[in-house]
Chains A and B, each alone.
Chain A
Amino acid sequence: MNKLKQRFQQGKQAIKTLDESRIRGAGNIRAFAYSWVFSFLLFLPVVIVFANLFTLYAPGAPLFPLVATLAGIGVVLFNATANVFYVRLIKKYFKQLPALGSISEWDVFLVECLNLPVWLLVIVVVVFLSVSGGALWL
């Protein structure tokens, strides 16, 4: 537990370091775009599987909350993975910034997996669709 806490703190520090490095310009945009596109391609099978599942377990179905929760976890992992790829590319594109070298990708992954605003968004969407039943999906 202590080790996890330590890594979480390191991750937060890593994100702070990223912010303070004031990375700007075409390299940053390229890293951002590539990391999201690559993450999407990596998660493509998961996206298609959930598209299949949601056609069977629409809002109102007893298993919908479970499927929606799993999809929510998928969204969080997708976001965290995209951030890891972003860090990896940033390190490569901005070698002149030595501070970036100390950033651990797995620490960033951990922090992003526990990203509270993303979780809140997921919970609100799952609860709203579960409670509203099939009314939105006629």
Chain B
Amino acid sequence: MIDLIKGLKKAWFILGPLYVFLIVVSVVPVPYDITTPGGLNKVESVIQIEESNPQTGSIHTVYVYALDGITLLQYWLGLLDSDFTLTKSNPDYDLTMREQKISGTIMKDVSRVNSVIRAYTMAGKPITYAYNGVIVYVTYRSTDPGIKLGDILTHVNGVKIESRNDFFDKVNSHACDERFNITIIRDGIEIPSVQVARNTHEDGCYLGISTYDHHLILSASPQFHFLETPTTGPSGGLMQTIAVYNAITESDITRGLKIAGTGTIDIAGNVGEIGGTYQKVLAAHRQKADSFFYPAGSTTNTKDANAAYATLRNPKMVLIGVHTFDEAILALQEWEGTDE
């Protein structure tokens, strides 16, 4: 080995600095996140409906690659490539890779439950469900230590939480740093009294958690199954709802189309804001989707979707902004496509 090193003595003077430079730029992290275009997933790989009606087209969610804490080299490439979006990392966000996976899975599970509830209700199919409380899908450095990722918060001072808004009303009725009790279901076990507070920080006082309303489906007909997938996150909500609705109703709204889109869904059918819209439009176009749905209620998503669409060469795909699930169904029922 020493012989080999000695044999390259002269080359080290030339290659040495380059060697060190390449390692440094490829390893040193910068406080930025990057989003890059991904691809499409068929909804039936996520939710399966028993005895579903046949469809001639296909319905897809769109995924992107999101990297946190990128390297200097990736940052430079992000500046050069217009397909990528660089965003400054949130210094308060400190989930580990494992916690990020758990967080993303919670988001996905909530979105699937919401999709099934909304689709069955809209289609007039029998479904019963119960409200559990609010589920914590992200914790931060500033989170009160009494609360953990994945906790379901059910009561505040012994009073049942009726909704996410109700929860925040109850919490905000307490002064900064004032301790109060919450009831938590953690790993399936109820912890009746956990003392927490809206702790004071530089920019205000808060619990420091991100939450969703959490519902539990008790029964549904036809039956459905949630399948294991490596993808995570809530952005499949709208497309899942469309796919489930199409599977349990007689008429086929896909009509041979390749339908893609993004947006969260709640059980009332509202379509919510999502990240990576720019890259999702590019990914859907590359995978030859006929339509792309996005949350029109979000100014950011609307701006990003249109900006990405403007970069496409001869797009056949139609961009459709919707505020609700009902609007998406209506758009598909009235579909006329593009002029070719």
Contact = CB atoms under 8 A, between A and B. Distances in A.
Interface in B282-305: 283, 286-287
Contact of B4 (A53, A55, A88): A88
Nearest to A85: B4
A52 B287 CA distance: 24
B67 interface: yes
A131 interface: no
Contact of A89 (B4, B65, B81, B230): B4
Interface in A38-96: 38, 44-46, 48-49, 51-53, 55-58, 60-62, 85, 88-89, 92
B22 A88 contact: no
Nearest to A47: B26
Given A48-B26, A49-B73, A138-B230, A89 B3 contact: yes
Contacts of A61: 36-37, 83
Contacts of A62: 286
A70 to B, nearest CB: 14
B104 interface: no
Contact of A134 (B1, B38, B229): B38
Interface residues of A, number: 27
A48 B63 contact: no
Nearest to B41: A138
A120 interface: no
A34 interface: yes
B1 A37 contact: yes
A133 interface: yes
Contact of A138 (B22, B36, B231): B231
A92 to B, nearest CB: 6
A135 interface: yes
Interface string B265-288: 000000000000000000100110
Contact of A49 (B5, B26, B230): B26
Contact of B22 (A38, A48, A58, A89): A48
A60 B38 contact: yes
Given A44-B23, A46-B22, A48-B23, A138 B77 contact: no
B39 interface: yes
B153 interface: no
Contacts of B260: none
B74 interface: yes
Contacts of A89: 3-4
Contacts of B81: 56
Nearest to A48: B26
A25 B230 CA distance: 48
A55 B65 contact: yes
Contacts of B67: 55-56
Contacts of B73: 49, 52
Interface in B79-96: 81, 83-84
A85 to B, nearest CB: 6
B71 interface: yes
Contacts of B83: 61
A88 B39 contact: no
B27 A48 contact: yes
B7 interface: yes
Contact of B19 (A45, A51, A55): A45
18 contacts: A34-B1, A34-B4, A44-B23, A45-B19, A45-B23, A48-B26, A52-B26, A55-B65, A55-B67, A56-B67, A56-B77, A56-B81, A58-B36, A58-B38, A60-B283, A61-B36, A61-B37, A138-B230
Interface of A: 34-35, 37-38, 44-46, 48-49, 51-53, 55-58, 60-62, 85, 88-89, 92, 133-135, 138
Given A45-B19, A46-B22, A89-B3, 18 more contacts: A34-B1, A34-B4, A37-B1, A45-B18, A48-B23, A53-B77, A56-B65, A56-B77, A56-B84, A57-B36, A58-B36, A58-B38, A60-B286, A88-B7, A138-B41, A138-B63, A138-B230, A138-B231
Closest 6 CB pairs of A and B: A45-B22, A134-B39, A48-B26, A138-B230, A38-B4, A52-B73
Interface of B: 1, 3-5, 7, 18-19, 22-23, 26-27, 34, 36-39, 41, 63, 65, 67, 71, 73-74, 77-78, 81, 83-84, 229-231, 283, 286-287
